[in-house]
């Protein structure tokens, strides 16, 4: 696969867009990067099954950089709930390692695409329904948070996302204000991305037919260009998140998830 000027432009535009969304919605950008990198790689001759896996792995690796840029902007506004980050992070690392090193390498890319579509659609529906938690409902204790973190890390590892599509609804259901949920989700993106990216590099190290400049399933040229763009716009999205009304933020989140789920479902069914 040739790294021509048009490809650089496409990846840079994707990085700028996903960085903004990462800051705005706390989703790490992976929900947008995965489908578009799948499209870009497939159009350039990479087999569909491998394209899906590499897109998921590359999108996850970019979240390492996007998360750091986004969370800094949220932290400056005092929005990150670091006590929740501390409670969920150990489980996230455990679940992410299990997904990226084990299950991810066994499943076909087409099945991963269908799983992506199904779970993201469920998350979007939960956001649109806007169910109100009981006023007395609070975040679970240490054991409950470790268990929840394990689920978030595992599912994130299967779809290459920063976990916001699970962690934001989870926190909202436990009476965490949406701006705090978005900011905290951005902070959680770092341990999710680090654990899973390491797993993708290990599990893909022996795979044949990878494009040049690949580290396991991670496509390094795509990672470099996308991450460079995303770190520039993530603080802009974070600033916007503090100005938008709650209901509008939820609707934006849900509509983006539905659109991306539809594309990945089509890709999985055709595969």
Q: How do residues 35-52 score in pLDDT, each as one tens digit?
A: 888 888 988 888 888 888
102 pLDDT higher than 60: yes
Average pLDDT score over residue span 89-103: 86
Q: What is the pLDDT of residue 134?
A: 61
Name the DSSP class of 88.
H
Determine whether 13 is exposed, middle or buried from the number of CB atoms within 10 Å of its CB (0-12, 13-18, 19+).
middle
Q: Cα separations (Å) of 123 from 104, 130, 212, 263, 271?
A: 21, 11, 35, 16, 24
Rank 33-37, 203-207, 217-221 by mean pLDDT and report only the highest: 217-221
Residues 6+ apart with CB under 8 A from 90: 146, 149
**Nearest CA among 164, 167, 172 for reference residue 138:** 172
| 108 pLDDT tier (thresholds 50, 70, 90) | confident
Beta strands in 157-238, from DSSP E residues, in sequence order: 214-215, 218-219
Alpha-carbon torsion angle 150, 120, 126, 146, nearest 10: 10
Q: What is the pLDDT of residue 128?
A: 77
Average pLDDT score over residue span 195-223: 90
Q: Please report where in the chains the tokens 């990672």 appear, as a residue.
A: 223
pTM equals 0.75
Percentage of the chain with pLDDT > 70? 88
| 83 pLDDT tier (thresholds 50, 70, 90) | very high
Q: What is the pLDDT of residue 267?
A: 67
Q: What residue segments make up the domains of the chain, in order of their start?
A: 5-270
Q: What is the pLDDT of residue 112?
A: 76
26 pLDDT higher than 70: no
Q: What is the pLDDT of residue 261?
A: 79
Average pLDDT score over residue span 210-217: 90
Alpha-carbon torsion angle 220, 63, 58, 262, nearest 10: -150
Determine whether 45 is exposed, middle or buried from the number of CB atoms within 10 Å of its CB (0-12, 13-18, 19+).
exposed
Give SS3 for 214.
strand
258 pLDDT higher than 60: yes
**pLDDT tens string 60-70:** 898 888 788 77
């Amino acid at each position: 696969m040739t790294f021509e000027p048009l490809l650089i432009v496409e990846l840079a535009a994707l990085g700028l867009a996903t960085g903004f969304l990462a800051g705005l919605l706390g989703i790490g950008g992976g929900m947008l990067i995965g489908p578009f990198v799948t499209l870009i790689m497939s159009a350039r001759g990479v087999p569909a099954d491998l394209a899906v896996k590499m897109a998921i792995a590359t999108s996850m690796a970019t979240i390492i950089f996007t998360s750091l840029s986004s969370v800094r902007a949220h932290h400056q506004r005092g929005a990150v709930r670091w006590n929740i980050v501390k409670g969920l992070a150990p489980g996230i690392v455990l679940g992410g390692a299990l997904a990226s090193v084990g299950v991810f390498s066994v499943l076909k890319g087409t099945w991963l695409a269908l799983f992506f579509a199904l779970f993201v659609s469920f998350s979007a529906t939960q956001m649109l329904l806007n169910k109100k938690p009981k006023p007395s409902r609070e975040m679970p204790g240490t054991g409950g948070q470790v268990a929840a973190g394990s689920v978030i890390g595992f599912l994130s590892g299967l779809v290459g996302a920063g976990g916001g599509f699970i962690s934001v609804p989870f926190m909202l259901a436990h009476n965490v204000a949406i701006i705090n949920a978005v900011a905290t989700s951005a902070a959680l993106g770092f341990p999710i991305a680090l654990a899973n990216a390491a797993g993708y590099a290990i599990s893909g190290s022996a795979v044949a037919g990878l494009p040049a400049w690949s580290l396991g399933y991670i496509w390094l040229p795509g990672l470099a260009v996308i991450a460079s763009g995303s770190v520039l716009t993530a603080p802009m999205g974070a600033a916007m998140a503090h100005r938008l009304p709650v209901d509008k933020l939820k609707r934006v989140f849900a509509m983006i998830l539905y659109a991306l789920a539809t594309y990945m479902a089509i890709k999985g069914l055709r595969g």
